[in-house]
Every structure is written in C-alpha cells, then in structure tokens.
Amino acid sequence: MSNQEDYQALINIITAIPAEETKSPNMPIDAFLQEAENQYHWCQDDQTLLTNAGLDWALVQDVPIRAGALREAESLWFKERFTREDAEKQWNEQSPEGYDLRNRLLHGFHYAYRNHADLSGRVSAIANGNGHADMIQDLNDIAVLGQQNLEPLQTINFDVTQLDAAATTADTLADLLAQATTDREENSSKRVIRDQAYTYLKKAVDEIRVCGQYVFWRDEQRKKGYSSRYFRRHR
C-alpha cells in the first residue's frame, strides 16, 4: 500500500491513542523510520526464536504499515508547518506597511474631518486601540468611513485611491495573520496526529527490540540489530 493508504487504514487506531500515552519524537523522524524498517528486515531470520520467546509476529508484519502511516502524518504536518511559516514571513514583511498606511490615513482623516464633530469623533474612535487585529480593523473602518464621506477628503486633495488600498490591505493581512497564528506548533492537530502515529510505530519497534535483546543477550552481533543506531552514534 502507499503511505496515504497506510495512513487511512490506521487513522482511527492512531487518533484513539490517549494524550497521556502519546509521545513526541526524541530523534529525527526520518532516522526513526529508517531504523524501524531496518529492524523489520533484520528480524525476519529470527522469527522462530522471537516467537518462541512470546513475540506476536503480527506485530512485526504490521511495522511497514505503521511506518507508512507515520511518513504520511509527518508529510501532512510538514505541509501545514511550511504554510504557516510562509504566512509568518509574509506577515512580517507586509504588516509594517499596513501600520504605516493606517497611520497615514488617520493623519489625513484627522485634518480633513477636523471641522466635522461627528466624523472627527469617529476618527478618534478608530485611532484608539492597539495590536495587529486592531490595525486590520482600523484599515477596514477607515476605508468605509472615507468612502461614505468623500467630500472633505477631496477638499484637501486627499488621494482617495488609498481607501481601496486600505480595504485590500485589511483583507490580505487578515488572511496572513490567521494563517500565521492558527494551529501553532504546540496545538496543531496534524502535529498531534504525527505524534500519535510515531507512538503507534514506536510501540511495535520497542516490543520487537525488547524481545530481540532478551533472546540475543549473549550474541552481541545479533543484539545490535535490536537497538538504536542513532542513539549509539549520538551517545
């Protein structure tokens, strides 16, 4: 089966793993997957000895499917993370322009509407507040207020095309802010599923390793195949 098919086949089992049992990877996922697949092939010649020691061979046979599901889960989380990081980059580039546009428009509005008490009051209300969400809302409010009250702006030769720019910028920045701040890494549902898929594969890998180390406790050559090469190299 493909990784996607493995993922779909196991998704209900994976997502049923309780939060208190879910583990986060303590090594790179690609290294862990390679070790799981290496161990799967390594233990094939030891089937009789391992099963005689109580290992359920169905667990071994399930390793490639669990690995495929984890590969797919990791890919889905990577895609989400990449999208968010790209949005954060764009937000960091474009939001200062949004703040500057908001400030320039408010400056013009304060002057244009200075002799109109009701409009001046609305401009002051818009100017209150702070933060990213407030800036985005300000741009939209400014665009609406300006379009509805063009004459005072035209009197001071205000560039009214900036009103459309304010509305467009508000829409763009709202989307970027949502993408950049929604489902942060620690709360991402795709990250949770990736960790659950890792946990599910790790359960199988650990069970096989424990059995292999028990069986080959006096055979260092065979026993090596039932331990983590990654941690041996990074110890």
| Any domain includes 123 | yes
CA proximity to 136, closest of 108, 103, 102, 104: 102
What phi, psi does 234 have (nearest 5°)?
-105, 10
Based on the fold, state whether residues 100 and 126 are members of the same structural domain: yes
Average pLDDT, rounded, for the chain: 92
Based on the fold, state whether residues 143 and 57 are members of the same structural domain: no
Please give the pLDDT value at position 181: 78
Based on the fold, state whether residues 76 and 158 are members of the same structural domain: no
Kindly tell me the burial class for residue 130, based on how many C-beta atoms sit within 10 Å of its own C-beta (0-12, 13-18, 19 or more): exposed
Q: Does the CA dihedral 79-80-82-86 come out positive or negative?
A: positive
Please give the pLDDT value at position 186: 47
How far out from the chain centre does Cα 126 lie?
34
Based on the fold, state whether residues 81 and 194 are members of the same structural domain: yes
Please give the pLDDT value at position 80: 79
Percentage of the chain beyond pLDDT 70 is: 97
Based on the fold, state whether residues 37 and 81 are members of the same structural domain: yes
Based on the fold, state whether residues 112 and 177 are members of the same structural domain: yes
Based on the fold, state whether residues 38 and 107 are members of the same structural domain: no
| Any domain includes 19 | no
pLDDT per residue over 114-138, tens digit each? Answer: 999 999 999 999 999 899 999 999 9
Residue at which a domain ends, from 181, 204, 220: 181
Based on the fold, state whether residues 81 and 110 are members of the same structural domain: no
Based on the fold, state whether residues 36 and 110 are members of the same structural domain: no
pLDDT per residue over 29-52, tens digit each? Answer: 999 999 999 999 999 999 999 999
Q: Report yes or no: 124 and 106 within 8 Å, Cβ to Cβ.
A: no
pTM: 0.66
Flag whether pLDDT at 24 surpasses 70.
Answer: yes
| Any domain includes 220 | yes
The total number of structural domains that make up the chain: 2
| Any domain includes 18 | no
How many alpha carbons fall within 13 Å on the CB side of residue 144?
9
Flag whether pLDDT at 180 surpasses 90.
Answer: no
What is the span of the domain harbouring residue 202?
A: 3-9+29-85+190-233
Residue at which a domain ends, from 162, 181, 200: 181
